Amino acid sequence: MFGGSMFLMFFQSVLPIFLIVLSGHLIRRYWISSDEFWRGLQQMSYALFLPAALFSYLSEANFKLKGSMSMVIALILTNVLVCSALIWYQRYSQSIPNRRFPSVLQCSIRYNTYVFLALGKALFGDEANRIASIVIVYMITLVNAISVLAFDTYIGRKKHSSKSRTQAVTAVVIKLLKNPIIFSSSCAILFSYNNVVLPHGLQQFFHVLGQAALGIGSLTIGGELRLKIQRVYIPQICLSTITKLLILPIIAVCMLKLLRVEGMMRSIALLYSCLPCANGVVVLSRQLGGDAELDASIATVQTVLAIFSLAFIMSVFH
């Protein structure tokens, strides 16, 4: 049963992370407005700090932990069901312009890795982030693949010739394979499975770099927020936000119950399902000819509302 004290507990745990996000927005708006500075900070966080954090957590993670695969399967099924429902809705209603639909779809399933790790640690401690890292390894590949396919299906086939479309998709796939998050995760998994233990000094090096990821990453999220939203986008923003912050978590709860995922695994999976989409949706949309402004608007609205929806969902279903 929903209790005010439980909501308040989760809200107070979530609030510091979102205050850092707000600080990032205010810093960019009133103090350091240089686009070059924020691009550099974002790139450093994405290519150095976040991979270091994942490597640190994954190298200590137990991939044979009981229930871990059931958790991953539950989340995969959740995302597939959400995507299927949105595709069915678009097919029979045709209410969303094709150029905007991939934005709605990807913003309904993609998640913010920085917020995931920051909240995982704040709510459940370091052990939670070892489990969260396992989720990230599988889900980052799945949601990116679905997003690329959506852009190719609804935009690429009409906008580009067969050759140019193939080149565009190939370029994104290659970039995905070179993704620093996937690369660092793969290295950590190899180390873990082969029982390779790094010297203590190197372990501390990655740990300290990883700690920087959560604060700096949250600041860059705030720096990318856009508070001016065009009215024409409101229906798509509402659909994607309701799907991501309400419908997807409820489906996840059902899948986790069906597959009997319990304990910390269930808590982390539920937290994953409540997350707002990442600002990376804008980059992918711009690369593949989508409506990047719509993506930015959805990401902003989801980030602002998630502070309340996340605390509510976690307090009700945790």
Give dist(CA 217, CA 49) in Å, integer.
8
Among all chains, which residue has been given the structure tokens 């695969």? Answer: 69
Backbone conformation region of residue 275, classed left if phi is above 0, alpha if psi is from -120 to 50, else beta: beta
**Is the pLDDT at 160 greater than 60, yes or no?**
no
pLDDT (0 to 100) of residue 259: 96
**Is the pLDDT at 173 greater than 80, yes or no?**
no
Q: Supply the mean pLDDT for the chain.
A: 87
Residue 216 in tokens: 């700096």
With H, G, I as helix, E, B as strand and everything else as coil, classify residue 49. helix
Q: How large a percentage of the chain has pLDDT more than 70?
A: 92
Q: What is the pLDDT of residues 52-91, one digit of tens each?
A: 988 888 877 777 777 889 999 999 999 999 999 999 999 9
Residue 153 in tokens: 């299906």
Backbone conformation region of residue 195, classed left if phi is above 0, alpha if psi is from -120 to 50, else beta: left
Any residues with CB less than 8 A from the CB of 179 and at least 6 apart, and which?
Answer: 140, 144
Closest by CA to 106, choosing from 71, 153, 69, 168, is 153
Arithmetic mean of pLDDT, 126-142: 87
- Say what the alpha-carbon torsion angle 234, 239, 240, 246 is, to the nearest 10 degrees: 130
Residue type, 39: R
Selected residue with higher pLDDT from 107 and 140: 107
Arithmetic mean of pLDDT, 163-178: 67
Give dist(CA 303, CA 108) in Å, integer.
13
**pTM for the complete prediction?**
0.87
Residue 128's Cβ-count burial label (10 Å; 0-12, 13-18, 19+) is: buried
- Stretch (H or E) spanning 193: helix 180-193
**Is the pLDDT at 233 greater than 90, yes or no?**
yes
Domains and CATH numbers, the chain: 4-317 (1.20.1530.20)
**Segment 23-32 long-range contacts (CB within 8 Å, at least 24 positions apart):** 23/219, 23/222, 24/218, 24/219, 24/220, 24/221, 24/222, 24/223, 24/225, 25/222, 25/223, 25/225, 26/222, 27/219, 27/222, 27/223, 28/222, 28/223
- Please give the distance of CA 167 from its chain centroid, rounded to a whole number: 26
Residue 201 in tokens: 């000094």
- Please give the distance of CA 15 from its chain centroid, rounded to a whole number: 18
pLDDT (0 to 100) of residue 1: 45
With H, G, I as helix, E, B as strand and everything else as coil, classify residue 127. helix
Selected residue with higher pLDDT from 56 and 240: 240
